Amino acid sequence: MTDKKSEDFIADSQFEPLKPSAKFAKSARVNDDMLFREAQNDRLAFWAKMAKNLKWNSKWDRILDDDKPPFYKWFTNGKLNVSENCLDIHINNGLGDKKALIFEGEEGDTQVLTYKQLLKEVCKFSNVLTKLGIGKGDAVTVWMPMIPEAIIAMLACTRIGAIHSVVFGGFSPEALKDRILDSESKMVITADGANRRGKVIPMRNAAEQALEECPSVEKVIIVKRTGTSYKTKPGRDLGWSELMADANDRFEPVNMDAEDPLFILYSSGTTGKPKGILHSTGGYLVGVNTTFRYVFDHQEDDIYWCTADIGWITGHSYIVYGPLSNGSSTFIYEGTPDYPSRDRFWELVEKYKVTVFYTAPTAIRSFMRWGNDHVDKRDLSSLRLLGSVGEPINPEAWLWYHEHIGKGKCPIVDTWWQTETGMIMITPLPGLTPLKPGSASWAFPGIEVDVLDDNGNPTEAGQRGFLVIKSPWPAMLRTLHGDPERFENTYWKQYPGLYFTGDGAWKDKDGYLWIMGRVDDVLNVSGHRIGTMEVESALVEHPAAVEAAVIGKVHEIKGHAITAFVTLKEGYEGSDELVQELKSHVGKKIGAIARPEEIFFTYELPKTRSGKIMRRLLRDIAEQRDLGDVTTLMDPQVVATIKEGYTEK
């Protein structure tokens, strides 16, 4: 890795670390270094203490089983149920009438479920699932819009011990099919349609394209959301409300082992095949319960809003399991921030008096671009804490967020973590950590990270390296579904014994961590992970394409914009029509988020002598940078030609 760029140093030195106000610190959950000291003293004892915040039906006999790394186990032989910890325990503590889930639809329809009401719905759906033959260990795919039923379905799965696999609603039927097949789901839960910017997007009809090729699926449950019509497949398709109408509203939670699988969530890797990241019950819940409480400084009367979709890990951990296991009130919104107008989010913050708001840098950059008028006309005085996740936040966006959304008084927690980590790993604690705009600060108590150079030595302050996690943590992924070998190879081989994050980072002189994003071929488009290989595989499936190289071009709003370089088969001519065709081909294969923004045709791709496509060069071309070292290139002429073509367009 090369040395840090000068901009990085500017980010480092430009700002005085911002201390939490005395007012915030005073009532904060954490305002001294107690947790850090406890964890430092005895990391496992710290996590065991945290685990005691949950209800266990039998206690574990070992905190961490590290007999067969990297296949770690946490809280072995402990027994618990996730939905019981998210619902029943709060009702037993007198919080039954507290709002658990607050929902607003795109059209302004609303729904509030108290803890008691949410428990009833979850129990009813648990009975529905059980009656339909779903039980412990069965996989259920959830492909739904952001509506309460999605969360009810997830919690019901955990209540009966089924393994949910939530697939992002914006993924294409093809992507859905791959994930249903890989998880061997017996059931799919979906909706007739979704509301999106005033239009109705059919879901059940789209799902049918996937279902036709998924023989393992015995039942499909369909929520009526938009009234979109579809042809029912008798014997397989069932309506959510019909099933729920006469379902019993009591269901005893199934006692699960701490290491029983809780869910699978597919995430992009460096090959065309997405990875089925497997999380298990006990450690995951301990991790998200603990981090939610301390990172978001959980207070009893908070109205907490995380804008993620439940199809991503952020939705799993910090819309559903973290907030609910803490007895918080979690708000969800069906739509996008710009419909019907660009003040929609701020209208919602004002209306629901949101106190804690957690979103992604890509959204923040859009808000900045849309102008302050949309923000200034709303009353945001209820906000007390802001969060950021998904990609590095540039200091400029951080400062805007702090000033215009937080009015200078809300700390910002820039939280670094991954689908694989399950829980927040690097983050400020808002009542304690002096903030540096653009830095996620330090590891959470009980988490050990470092930045290493190519030889595995810790880097000096200011020097770039690879971010690693040095010891197991409770919410860590347990394996990749059906592919333990890939699990070992992807995460545990670069530095034997350490978890390789795939991110580049550097530490500053004060020990703050500055995360620079992926070092592998994974793009981050608007906070969503897309593998370059996935897009490339989709492109070359088109009859006109021979070979494709996909890169992420730095994009002001989205983080990365997908740019594709494609070589064509003989007999095909590059044209605007073909560009459009290829773009929609990728959209159809993977989903709209993976649609390349630009496609270029080239007679060859730059390759190393061993035949590896040099994406770095293409990135440099796309970003109009000097090309640097090209000595390993097989045919340097290729680059010159591509560069010419690119600059001409």
Chain residues in the site for ligand 7RM (CB under 6 A) = 267, 312-314, 389-392, 414-419, 440, 501-503, 515, 517-518, 524, 529
Shortest Å, Cβ 318 to ligand 7RM:
9
Distance CA(11)–CA(95), nearest Å, equals 45
Shortest Å, Cβ 559 to ligand 7RM:
9
Instruction: List the alpha helices (DSSP H) in 390-442.
Output: 395-400
Shortest Å, Cβ 605 to ligand 7RM:
25
Shortest Å, Cβ 388 to ligand 7RM:
6
Q: Which is nearer to ligand 7RM, 81 or 524 (CB)?
A: 524
Q: Which is nearer to ligand 7RM, 424 or 617 (CB)?
A: 424
Q: Which is nearer to ligand 7RM, 105 or 274 (CB)?
A: 274
Q: Which is nearer to ligand 7RM, 304 or 416 (CB)?
A: 416
Shortest Å, Cβ 314 to ligand 7RM:
5
Shortest Å, Cβ 426 to ligand 7RM:
7
Distance CA(627)–CA(93), nearest Å, equals 63
Which residue's Cβ has the minimum distance to ligand 7RM? 419
HSE-CB of 59 using CA atoms within 13 angstroms: 6
Q: Which is nearer to ligand 7RM, 517 or 587 (CB)?
A: 517
Shortest Å, Cβ 427 to ligand 7RM:
8
Shortest Å, Cβ 331 to ligand 7RM:
19
Distance CA(171)–CA(203), nearest Å, equals 11
Q: Which is nearer to ligand 7RM, 183 or 415 (CB)?
A: 415
Distance CA(37)–CA(30), nearest Å, equals 12
Shortest Å, Cβ 105 to ligand 7RM:
25
Q: Which is nearer to ligand 7RM, 78 or 504 (CB)?
A: 504
Q: Beta strand 499-507 with 513-518: parallel, antiparallel or unpaired? A: antiparallel
Displacement of CA 212 from its chain's centroid (Å): 29
* Cβ–Cβ < 8 Å for 560, 525: yes
Tell which residue, 525, 584, 522, 582, has the closest CA to residue 274: 522
Ramachandran angles phi, psi of 502, nearest 5°? 85, 5
Distance CA(193)–CA(371), nearest Å, equals 32
Q: Which is nearer to ligand 7RM, 529 or 583 (CB)?
A: 529
Peptide bond between residue 17 and the one before it cis (omega within 30 degrees of 0): no
Q: Which is nearer to ligand 7RM, 382 or 494 (CB)?
A: 494
Distance CA(446)–CA(279), nearest Å, equals 19
Q: What is the helix (H) or strand (E) element at residue 237, kind and residue range?
A: strand 237-239
Task: Give Rg (Cα) of the chain.
Answer: 24
Q: Which is nearer to ligand 7RM, 159 or 478 (CB)?
A: 478
* Cβ–Cβ < 8 Å for 528, 312: yes
Tell which residue, 409, 413, 358, has the closest CA to residue 381: 409
Tell which residue, 361, 367, 360, 365, has the closest CA to residue 344: 367
Q: Which is nearer to ligand 7RM, 405 or 605 (CB)?
A: 405
Shortest Å, Cβ 33 to ligand 7RM:
22
Tell which residue, 146, 137, 145, 148, has the closest CA to residue 113: 148
CB atoms within 10 A of CB 419: 19
Unique residue bearing structure tokens 């008691």:
116
Dihedral sign of CA atoms 172, 174, 177, 183 in order: negative
Shortest Å, Cβ 553 to ligand 7RM:
17
